[in-house]
C-alpha cells in the first residue's frame, strides 16, 4: 500500500506544516486550515458529502475543545482528524470471518479487471496460511479462459481447484463445488465470478439470482483503488442488487488517489476487510484503519503524537478538576457545563455506565439523550441569578422556567432535587469523603 495515499498524504503534510509553524491559532486560522483541508480532500477524490461531514465533525470537536497548554491547537486538529478518518474507515481492523460450517461459501464480485481472479488466488493462499483448506472455483461458464486463469493461479499456490465445464449456470457450479468440498473435506469454497467492463444489469441480475439461491457467508466486493470516484459508483450500483458483506480494495500499491476508500466506506458502511498490495499471490493484507489514517495524514510519528496528546489531555483535565474542587460552590452553571462536557465525550450509554449508580437515575437509560436535552433546556431558561442561587426559584419562577423550556413544573422540580443531591455529593468530595469518580476515569469534572 505504498503509493496509494502518497498524493493525499503530501497535501495533508503541507497543510499541517502551515498549522505547526504558527503555534497557537486563532479561530479564524483554524477555519482557514479547515478550508484548506476541505480542498485537499476534494482534490484527492473524496466525495464532497463525505468531506463536508468530515470537516463539520472536526470543526465541532475542535471548537468545543479547550486549548491545552502543552498541546498546540494544530496538534489537536491533527489528532481529531486522525480519529475521524480512522472512525470512518471502521475503527479497528476487521478480519475475515470464516464461519464454522463446512464448507463456508465466499463469493467475489466486481467489475472485470478489478482483480477478482487474482484476489481469489490470494485469498486461497491467505486462508491456507491460516490452516484452512479452501477450494477455488469460477462461475464464468461462458469463458473457459477465465476458469483456466484461476486454475493456474490455484496450482501455483498449491490450492485445490474445482471446475464443471458442462455447467450452464453459475448456480450449478456453486452447488457442485459445495458437494465436492463436502466430500473432500474442504472448509471454504472461494467462488470467482464473471465480470464486465461496465456495470451491466444482466450481470447484476445473475449475481442477484445466485445470492438469493445460495447462502454465501461472505460476499466480497472487489474494487480497484485506482479508479477513484468510479469505484464509488460501482459500489452504489452493486448495492442495489447484491448485499456485500465487505470490500477488498485492490491495487492499493499503484493508486495515487486515496480518497475513494474514505468515500466508499462512509457511504456504504461496508468494512474494508483486505487490501491487495501487488500482483503476487502473497500480496494481500488485512486492512488497518488506524495505520491507513496515519498514512493519510502523512506523518510517521502520528501515533506517538496521538499518544502524547492523549496523555496531555488526561493530565490537564485532572489539574482542572483539582482546581474546581477547591472552588467554593457548585452551581447550576457548573452543572450545565458538565452536561455539555458529557455530551461531547462519547456515546450516551458509555457515559451512563461510568456514573456512580446513585446518579444513573438522572440520566435514565431509556430516554437518556432526550433527558439530557430537556435538562439543558431547563437550565438555559433560568436567569444567571437563578442558576447561581437556585434557592430563589419560587413557584412563579418555576412556571416561567417550565414554559420557557417547553417542559413541566414537575420536571423543573425534579431537576432541582437532583441538582441538590449532586451538590451535596460535591461538598463531600471537597471534604475528601468520597473519591471523585473522575479521578478514575480522568474525564468528568465532578464525578458524573
Ligand atoms: P478480474 O477481471 O477482476 O478477475 O481481474 P484479474 O484478477 O484478472 O486482475 C486484473 C489485473 O490486475 C491483473 O493484471 C492483476 O495482476 C492486477 N492486479 C490484481 N490485484 C492487484 C493488486 O493488488 N496490485 C496490482 N498492482 N495489480 C493487481
Ligand atoms: Mg477474472
Q: What is the pLDDT of residues 366-409, one digit of tens each?
A: 345 667 778 888 998 998 889 888 889 999 999 999 999 999 99
121 vs 35 pLDDT, higher one: 121
C-alpha cell recorded at residue 286: 488485512
Q: How far is the CA of 197 from the centre of ligand 1 (A)?
A: 13
Asked if residue 253 lies in contact with residue 277, where contact means CB atoms within 8 angstroms, the answer is yes
CA dist., res. 309 & res. 63, Å (int)? 16
Measuring CA to CA, which residue among 309, 231, 333, 307 is closest to residue 272?
231
Superfamily of domain 303-441: Signal recognition particle, SRP54 subunit, M-domain (1.10.260.30)
The pLDDT tens digits of the residues spanning 57-104 come to: 888 877 756 555 566 666 777 778 888 888 888 887 777 878 888 899
Q: Sorting pLDDT into bands at 50, 70 and 90, what band is 446?
A: very low
The Cα 331–Cα 389 span in angstroms is 7
Give the C-alpha distances (Å, rounded to integers) separating 23 from 55, 297, 415.
21, 19, 43
Q: Mean of the per-residue pLDDT values for the chain?
A: 78
Reported pTM: 0.65
Worst-scoring range by mean pLDDT, 133-147, 207-221, 222-236? 222-236
From residue 442, alpha-carbon distances to 316, 354, 436, 448 in Å are: 9, 11, 10, 11
Q: Is the CB of 110 under 6 A from ligand 1?
A: yes
Confidence band of 279 (pLDDT split at 50, 70, 90): very high
* Domain parsing of the chain, residue ranges: 6-88, 104-299, 303-441
Give the nearest ligand 1 atom to 112 CA.
Answer: 2
In this structure, are residues 209 and 155 in contact, taking their beta carbons and an 8 Å threshold? no
Nearest CA to ligand 1 atom 28: 279
Mean pLDDT of 141-169: 95
Question: Which pLDDT score is estimated for 322?
Answer: 61
What mean pLDDT do residues 201-218 have? 92
Q: Is residue 126's pLDDT more than 90?
A: yes
Per-residue model confidence (pLDDT) at position 330: 76
How does DSSP classify residue 273?
E
Neighbours of 228 (CB within 10 A): 20
Mean pLDDT of 245-261: 78
Query: Nine-digit cell at 16?
Result: 499541517
The neighbour count for residue 182, using CB atoms within 10 Å, is 13
Of 257, 256, 266, nearest in space to 247 by CA: 266
The CB density around residue 404, as the number of other CB atoms within 10 Å, is: 14
Per CATH, the number for 104-299 is 3.40.50.300
DSSP lists the bridge partners of residue 248 as 222, 274
Round to whole Å and give the CA distance between 409 and 402: 5
> What's the CA-to-centroid distance between 196 and ligand 2, angstroms?
9
Q: Is the CB of 134 under 6 A from ligand 1?
A: no
DSSP3 helix / strand / coil % (the chain, rounded to 5): 60, 10, 30
What distance in Å separates the CA atoms of residue 82 and residue 88, rounded to the nearest whole number? Answer: 10
- Per the model's pLDDT, the better-predicted residue between 73 and 301 turns out to be 73
195 has binding-site annotation = yes
Pocket lining: 90 vs ligand 1, CB cutoff 6 Å? no
The CATH architecture one would assign to domain 6-88 is Up-down Bundle (1.20)
CA quadruple 120, 123, 129, 133: dihedral positive or negative?
negative
Q: For 31-48, what is the mean pLDDT? A: 75
Q: Which residues of 349-376 are buried (b: 16+ CB within 10 A; e: fewer)?
A: eebbebbeeebeebbeeeebeebbebbb
Question: Measured in whole angstroms, how far is the alpha carbon of residue 319 from the centre of its chain?
Answer: 31
Which pLDDT value is given to residue 353?
Answer: 52
pLDDT above 70 covers a percentage of the chain that reads 69
Amino acid at each position: 500500500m505504498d503509493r496509494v495515499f502518497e498524493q493525499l498524504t503530501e497535501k495533508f503534510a503541507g497543510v499541517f506544516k502551515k498549522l505547526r509553524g504558527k503555534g497557537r491559532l486563532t479561530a479564524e486560522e483554524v477555519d482557514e486550515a479547515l478550508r484548506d483541508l476541505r480542498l485537499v480532500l476534494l482534490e484527492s477524490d473524496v466525495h464532497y458529502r463525505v468531506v463536508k461531514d468530515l470537516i463539520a465533525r472536526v470543526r465541532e470537536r475542535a471548537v468545543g475543545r479547550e486549548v491545552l497548554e502543552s498541546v498546540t491547537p494544530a496538534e489537536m486538529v491533527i489528532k481529531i482528524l486522525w480519529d475521524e478518518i480512522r472512525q470512518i474507515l471502521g475503527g479497528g481492523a476487521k478480519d475475515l470471518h470464516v464461519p464454522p460450517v463446512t464448507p463456508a461459501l465466499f463469493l467475489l464480485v466486481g467489475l472485470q479487471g478489478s482483480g477478482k481472479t487474482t484476489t481469489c488466488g490470494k485469498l486461497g493462499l491467505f486462508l491456507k496460511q491460516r490452516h484452512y483448506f479452501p477450494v477455488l472455483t469460477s462461475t464464468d461458464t461462458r469463458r473457459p479462459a477465465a476458469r483456466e486463469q484461476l486454475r493456474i493461479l490455484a496450482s501455483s499456490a498449491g490450492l485445490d481447484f474445482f471446475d464443471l465445464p458442462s455447467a450452464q449456470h453459475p448456480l450449478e457450479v456453486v452447488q457442485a463445488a459445495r458437494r465436492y468440498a463436502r466430500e473432500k473435506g474442504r472448509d471454504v469454497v472461494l467462488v470467482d465470478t464473471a465480470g464486465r467492463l461496465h456495470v451491466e444489469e444482466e450481470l447484476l441480475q445473475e449475481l442477484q439470482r445466485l445470492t438469493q439461491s445460495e447462502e454465501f457467508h461472505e460476499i466480497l466486493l472487489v474494487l480497484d483503488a485506482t479508479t477513484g470516484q468510479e469505484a464509488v459508483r460501482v459500489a452504489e450500483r452493486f448495492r442495489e442488487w447484491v448485499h456485500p458483506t465487505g470490500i477488498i480494495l485492490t491495487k492499493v500499491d499503484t493508486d495515487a488517489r486515496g480518497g475513494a476508500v474514505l468515500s466508499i466506506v462512509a457511504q456504504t458502511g461496508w468494512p474494508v476487510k483486505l487490501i491487495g498490495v501487488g500482483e503476487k499471490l502473497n500480496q494481500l493484507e488485512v486492512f488497518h484503519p488506524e495505520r491507513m489514517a496515519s498514512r493519510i495524514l502523512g506523518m510517521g510519528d502520528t501515533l506517538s503524537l496521538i499518544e502524547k496528546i492523549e496523555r496531555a489531555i488526561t493530565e490537564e483535565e485532572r489539574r482542572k478538576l483539582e482546581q474546581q474542587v477547591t472552588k467554593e460552590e457548585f452551581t447550576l452553571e457548573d452543572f450545565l457545563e458538565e452536561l455539555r462536557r458529557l455530551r461531547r465525550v462519547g456515546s450516551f450509554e458509555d457515559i451512563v455506565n461510568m456514573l456512580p449508580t446513585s446518579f444513573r437515575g438522572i440520566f435514565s437509560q431509556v430516554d437518556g439523550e432526550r433527558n439530557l436535552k430537556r435538562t439543558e433546556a431547563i437550565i438555559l431558561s433560568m436567569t444567571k441569578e437563578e442558576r447561581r442561587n437556585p434557592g430563589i426559584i419560587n413557584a412563579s419562577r418555576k412556571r416561567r422556567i417550565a414554559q420557557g423550556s417547553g417542559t413541566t413544573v414537575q420536571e423543573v422540580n425534579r431537576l432541582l432535587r437532583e441538582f441538590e443531591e449532586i451538590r451535596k455529593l460535591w461538598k463531600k468530595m471537597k471534604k475528601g469523603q468520597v473519591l471523585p469518580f473522575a479521578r478514575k476515569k480522568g474525564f468528568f469534572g465532578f464525578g458524573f
